[in-house]
Amino acid sequence: MMIIKCFLVVLLASFCLGVNTTLDDLISEIFKTDSSTQGTPTPPLQPSTPTQPSTPTQIKYESCGIQKECVPRWLCANDTINTSGENIIDIRIDGPCSNYLELCCEIPNKRDKPDISVEPIDRGCGYQNPNGIGFKITGAIDQEAEFGEFPWMVAILREESQLNLYECGGALIAPDVILTAAHCVHNKDAKSLIVRAGEWDTQTKVEIIPHEDRYVKDIIYHEQFNKGSLYNDVALLFLEVPFSFKLNIQPICLPNKGEEFELDRCYATGWGKNKFGKEGEYQVILKKIDLPVVENVQCQNNLRETRLGRHFILHDSFMCAGGEKGKDTCKGDGGSPLVCPIKGQPNRFKSAGIVAWGIGCGEENIPGVYAKVSYLRPWIDQKLALRQVDPKYFTA
């Protein structure tokens, strides 16, 4: 599935982390958000003010028959899909409407607003929406996440020549703070970066709650970050305008200093490639994979069997997860969170790792390597304290 996965070899460190024009074009194609303008550039984002849902009076829907229009399923009063999450939407359905999230609706049955709340809500950090928000999907044969299932997941975009190019992933830890990998934003101009929260399907705007964008004000990355070895691969992004917490935009909890997640089964999420190499494709709908955490000694031994060689030493700022064939983060997933369950609290998670690097993607007995958040927690706390960020946002 998914790392800005640059084959890390200490002797070949300069081989990775490059971005070329072809890759930018591909990713900008995936992350454009208006399905009616395929092949045209994404317009520049407006100033970073909270995004408001569009009202039906502002939208002209596609006709699908006499006195019928294709409208978002939750705006059709005779729709069998409701907002309780009990019913399902097939993400691969082929019907009269061009988008699977729309339904051919009798015009008199259209309604103005969905039943789902878009009001601000603060329920604490780390709460997953395991059944999604407003609807549940079927046809998820490629590990697609539910809409809003991981509300802390964000996309980091780079604004360039009126295009929004996907840079990497990240996690919301406070209304105006993003946790990501240093290698994603190292030497980047903060003013060129945009954080998108609440995103799910990157090629549609008709999700039940829209995504929101914010410009980045400042980037802080670890002073001991090593761009060759990726030691201390952590960064914080501070936003121009904070997000308001909604059902699909919520923070993730942080682990305690030194906390271990060995043998836990955790989730990684992202829009990165589904396999390594030219055959891999970037994902349109957010993907999730469940991975076992691998103890560091075992991970080091496994990595020594690769081209890293028998003298390779896994730095203390790393942790490992995966090693199961076909299940891994991959190119394009750098900075995305690895979240592990909080014991005794169902459907609640902490950010254990940040996607950093690996050898290939999805190879058996070769775990992916992640920045270890519990090891880096003192640095994170210090930087947040200097900005007077309230710990309540990321404390379980």
Amino acid identity, residue 300?
Q
- Of 100, 115, 114, which is closest to residue 70 (Cα–Cα)? 100
Query: Which of 57-71, 203-217, 221-235, 300-314 has the weakest average pLDDT?
Result: 57-71
Do residues 61 and 70 touch, judged by C-beta distance below 8 A? yes
> What are the tens digits of pLDDT across the range 241-280?
999 999 999 999 999 999 999 888 999 999 875 444 445 5
The answer, yes or no, to whether residue 50 has pLDDT greater than 50, is no
DSSP string, 298-312: HHHHHHHTTTT-TT-
Q: Region 338-356: what's the mean pLDDT?
A: 96
Quick one: pLDDT band at residue 87, thresholds 50, 70, 90? low
The answer, yes or no, to whether residue 165 has pLDDT greater than 70, is yes
The answer, yes or no, to whether residue 210 has pLDDT greater than 80, is yes
Residue 197: exposed, middle, or buried by beta-carbon count in 10 A (0-12, 13-18, 19+)? buried
The residues, ordered by sequence, that sit 6+ positions from 241 with a Cβ below 8 Å of its Cβ are 48, 49, 50, 176, 214, 215
Helix (H, G, I), strand (E, B) or coil at 99: coil
Check residue 11 and give its pLDDT.
34
Q: What percent of the chain has pLDDT over 70?
A: 74
Q: What is the mean pLDDT of the chain?
A: 80
Task: Say how far apart CA 353 and CA 72 lie, in whole Å.
Answer: 36
Peptide bond into 3 cis (omega under 30): yes
Q: Region 139-144: what's the mean pLDDT?
A: 70
- Of 77, 129, 75, which is closest to residue 102 (Cα–Cα)? 75
Task: Say how far apart CA 354 and CA 357 lie, in whole Å.
Answer: 10
Quick one: pLDDT band at residue 224, thresholds 50, 70, 90? very high
Check residue 285 and give its pLDDT.
87
Check residue 14 and give its pLDDT.
37
Q: Region 292-306: what's the mean pLDDT?
A: 96
pTM of the model: 0.78
Check residue 394 and give its pLDDT.
98
Q: Which domains does the chain have, with CATH numbers?
A: 63-109 (no CATH), 151-251+377-393 (2.40.10.10), 264-374 (2.40.10.10)
Amino acid identity, residue 118?
V
> What are the tens digits of pLDDT across the range 308-323?
999 999 999 999 999 8
Q: Region 81-85: what's the mean pLDDT?
A: 45
Quick one: pLDDT band at residue 136, thresholds 50, 70, 90? confident
The answer, yes or no, to whether residue 3 has pLDDT greater than 60, is no
As beta bridge partners, residue 172 has 178
Instruction: Mark 6-27 as b/e (b = at least 16 C-beta within 10 Å).
Output: bbbbeeebeebbeeeeeebebb
Check residue 41 and give its pLDDT.
30
Do residues 319 and 166 touch, judged by C-beta distance below 8 A? no
For 230: left if phi > 0, alpha if psi spans -120 to 50, otherwise beta; the answer is: left
> What are the tens digits of pLDDT across the range 102-129?
888 888 887 777 767 667 788 899 999 9
